[in-house]
Amino acid sequence: MSALRFRNVDADPADDVETWPYEALVTSIDRGLVPDWQPVFAEIRRSPWGPVARRVERYLRYRDPDGVSTLFASAIDRARKDIESADRAEVAARVQAAVERAGVTKAEFASAVGTSASRLSTYLNGKVTPSAALLMRIERIANSPSQSTMRSNRARHRLEALEFFSEEGRFDFDAAERAWGGNA
């Protein structure tokens, strides 16, 4: 059981941290112990840019620096980095799903969205996050009818190419050139 008590505020340490007034957060930081801070840390992890995190940041700006200040600042920083990492992974998964939906090679997809294959690779592995506009274009192109046409054309060309393989597995370039009009 916590010994933390709020004075002169209409809140109780058992209340949801989001409902605590600023003075209650200050009391928790200044007079509380690790168990008293756990609900504050949990709220910071849940919403690292939310009102509780912002109020803690505001207080830390003028509070004398010490281990407690460092702990709370680190908690906010870590929560934000974790969320950013999760967001980056989600965007990478969306880009990967778009490439798979398109059914073309990564190089073809990169060209269709107006980027290089190497830049697309950085989006796929999460090292770089595409702009919002580019992410919209990636998803739009992956869902466009022209991508379906590209997929079906590639499949048709593959089937046509099979016709020019002999039973020994050799490709007959002359027959393909005649059939495709010199575009083999």
pLDDT at 174: 74
pLDDT at 2: 67
Given a contact cutoff of 8 angstroms between Cβ atoms, the answer to whether 98 and 138 are in contact is yes
What is d(CA 51, CA 20) in angstroms, rounded to the nearest whole number?
Answer: 11
Q: Residue ranges of the alpha helices (H) in the chain?
A: 22-31, 34-46, 51-62, 67-102, 106-113, 117-124, 132-142, 145-162, 173-179
5-41 residue pLDDT tens? 888 888 889 999 999 999 999 999 999 999 999 999 9
Mean pLDDT of all residues in the chain? 87
Residues of the chain with pLDDT under 70: 1-2, 146-162, 164, 166-168, 172, 176, 179-184
Q: What is the reported pTM?
A: 0.69
pLDDT at 149: 53
pLDDT at 3: 80
Long-range contact set of residues 29-34: C-beta below 8 Å, sequence gap at least 24: 29/56, 29/59, 29/63, 29/68, 29/72, 30/68, 31/4, 32/2, 32/4, 33/2, 33/3, 33/4
pLDDT at 110: 93
Q: Token pair 């109780």 is at which residue? A: 12
Terminal Cα-to-Cα distance of the chain (whole angstroms) = 80
